[in-house]
Chain A
Amino acid sequence: MSPNIPNLVYILVIGVLFATGVTLLLERSLTRVLMGVILLGNGVNLLLLTGGRAGGPPIVGTSAQEDMADPLPQAMVLTAIVITLGMTAFLLALAYRSWHLNGHDEVQDDVEDRRIMELADRDEGPGTADADTADGGPADGSPEARVLAEAEGGR
């Protein structure tokens, strides 16, 4: 293995892509999350590329063997790009469907979070939340459905 010292510009670009990607990933809107995933994905792809030696095209006859670039990271990046493409399409479809159903594409809180929020709103201790204390339960549906409905209303 020859020593492999990556280009500083590469490193900086990777850093910027990771930073922006992570920032966007923390957003609430699924479209922005998707942007974050794409940026992060590109950052990772560049990172993969820096793993191999740079050089001429790795085709026999076009460059001497010791000057060739390492072809393996390039093959891996191609695979990763294809996977990212598919994932982007799927996430877009999810965001579109979410917009279709809810009028927005925000990533929603999970059921447990909503239940806790609801308890906090009603200023009750978590001890009373245990549904097995209520033999009959609420007549208008499961607690989960109720919490979901309230969380939607509170938004």
Chain B
Amino acid sequence: MTWLVPLPVVMPLLGAALTLLAARRARAQRWVSIVVLAATVAVAALLLVQSSLDGPLVVEVGGWVAPMGIVLVADQLAALMLVVSASVTLCVLVYSIGQGMADGNEETPLSVYHPTYLVLTAGVCNAFLSGDLFNLYVGFEILLVASYVLLTLGSTETRIRAGTTYVVVSLLSSLIFLVAIGLVYSATGTLNLAQLADRLDALPDDMRLVLQGMLLLAFGIKAAVFPLSAWLPDSYPTAPAPVTAVFAGLLTKVGVYAIIRTETLLFPGGRTADLLMVIAALTMVVGILGAVAQSDIKRLLSFTLVSHIGYMLFGVGLTTPLGLSAAIFYVVHHITIQTTLFLAAGLVERRGGSTALDRLGGLARLSPLLALLFFVPALNLAGIPPFSGFLGKLGLVQAGVDDGGFLAWALVAGGLLTSLLTLYAIARVWNLAFWRAPHPDMPEAGDADRAARTDGAEQPHEGASPAGAVLPRLMTVPTAALVVLGLALTVVAGPLFEISTDAADDLLRRAPYVEAVFPEGPP
């Protein structure tokens, strides 16, 4: 079954080529994208089943034997990430198609959207599957370059402003990553992760620390960890709603995935565990304080995104099996929920003509469906039982209490405070946008001019046209699907925790990964 492994990378790339060829045929583009992403979900699910049953699946790309060639490795962690991210990208794609069609530019969409979106998916999958540090870099570059294009779609003034910051910061992180790769290679003579796991152990401690620090710095920028997170709340909200949603769900999590991979496989022993825990606490608290101060839903959600990255680092920093397992569970939960919330914010923008809290109101009465689609994931994010956010946080707190150290207790306190403040921020959105009396500025049914005032920033296609009282079904259905997926995480929490625990065990033991790549031991 190893032939399945490269498919999540190859299929979206081929799909991107096809959609580019069909640039003038909007219908063909849409179908190609949907079919490709649906197939990716299926393949990812098969990979998850396979890797759970038989251990990591390894493919040597082009038949070149590792460590000379590049390997793709689908272990449980990678496969789990693939399943979640592929499902989320599929839903967001349908949503964006709904948005484009509802905008009346069905015949003339921005032809570059679909190819770029598929390339982004390929980059994300490549990063998850990569068994080679340089291939990981290439995966990051693929997804980043695609994200530059998606972020500046239409190149309006605000998007150019936000895009500039985003591109420069991402370039810097990529350069730091590349320097780290150069240093790792000159220190060990290999970039194969499994071989590195073996050879890095033999290096002097201080040299290992430098390499680890460089990689952490590069991934920290990508994951938007606190002192390196200032770029995120500024750049994400200006993009079209589906683009923001997919960025929020996936891009930072690829950074978190890379941190998990390097901290466990390459640099075990937790020498930077204390640092990670301090950073995790700061990320959580500072991020959520930023969210509390915001008056725009999209910006507020961007800050909660930063803040909740802290939870994942919390688990990684603990370096215990339970902590790591809870962190993986939390990544899965957060990809789903954060994306859902941004999609709901897009619906709010559509219905209310704005995402500024002082111009919204009464949405709960105007659109009960929208209220429901926002309310459920919002509570989920805040960690209200019995939602998956509660379960993930419970696992982390449990792991923190088990650890018992001063930092761990501080993190538990910080985590609970963050959860409370998330609830506060979310409740504020709910009160202002949904519960109070409708704002006089709010569009009534068919009020066409209002949306144009938000400079058409919410449509992924050019020629933005108006919001209306009726939400397009192709936009509400994918959002509802993601809400249901978020709820399903609670239902399947038991098996999911089993998978994440298995994955965490494999990560901490390291041997399964190394043996899968080098059955006869690393050369």
Contact = CB atoms under 8 A, between A and B. Distances in A.
A1 interface: yes
16 contacts: A1-B189, A25-B172, A30-B168, A44-B175, A48-B185, A52-B185, A83-B174, A87-B145, A90-B149, A90-B167, A101-B157, A130-B293, A132-B432, A135-B436, A136-B358, A137-B356
B208 interface: no
Given A94-B152, A94-B164, A131-B357, A37 B178 contact: no
Interface string A34-66: 000100110010011011100000000000000
Q: Is the interface of A mostly helix, strand, loop or mixed?
A: helix
A72 B83 CA distance: 33
Most chain B C-beta atoms within 10 Å of own C-beta, residue among A94, A138, A143: A94
B30 interface: no
A33 B134 CA distance: 25
B198 interface: no
A112 B234 contact: yes
A131 B358 contact: yes
B160 A41 contact: no
Interface size bracket, B side? 35 or more
A80 B160 contact: no
Given A4-B186, A94-B164, A143-B295, A134 B358 contact: yes
Contacts of B359: 137, 142
A48 B357 contact: no
Contacts of B174: 83
3 nearest CB pairs, A to B: A137-B358, A131-B295, A51-B186
Contacts, number: 117
Contacts of B152: 94, 97
A87 B179 contact: no
A111 interface: yes
Contact of B165 (A6, A87, A110): A110
Contacts of B356: 131, 137, 142-144
A76 interface: yes
Contacts of A25: 168, 172
Contact of B160 (A87, A94, A110): A94
A97 B155 contact: yes
B138 interface: yes
Interface in B147-188: 148-149, 152, 155, 157-158, 160-165, 167-168, 171-172, 174-175, 178-179, 181-183, 185-186
B322 to A, nearest CB: 37
A47 B179 CA distance: 7
B123 interface: no
A82 to B, nearest CB: 10
A20 interface: no
Q: Is the interface of B mostly helix, strand, loop or mixed?
A: helix
B354 interface: yes
B233 to A, nearest CB: 7
Most chain B C-beta atoms within 10 Å of own C-beta, residue among A37, A80, A135, A141: A80
Nearest to B179: A44
Contact of A102 (B157, B354, B357): B157
A108 interface: yes
Interface in A78-110: 79-80, 83, 86-87, 90-91, 94, 97-98, 101-102, 107-108, 110
A73 B358 CA distance: 55
B358 A44 contact: no
B428 interface: yes
A9 B116 CA distance: 42
Most chain A C-beta atoms within 10 Å of own C-beta, residue among B164, B183, B234, B293: B164
B141 interface: yes
A101 B155 CA distance: 10
Most chain A C-beta atoms within 10 Å of own C-beta, residue among B152, B183, B359: B359
A83 to B, nearest CB: 5
Nearest to A2: B189
Contacts of B358: 131-132, 134-138, 142-143
A6 B186 CA distance: 10
A41 B138 contact: no
B296 interface: yes
A107 B164 contact: yes
A13 B519 CA distance: 42
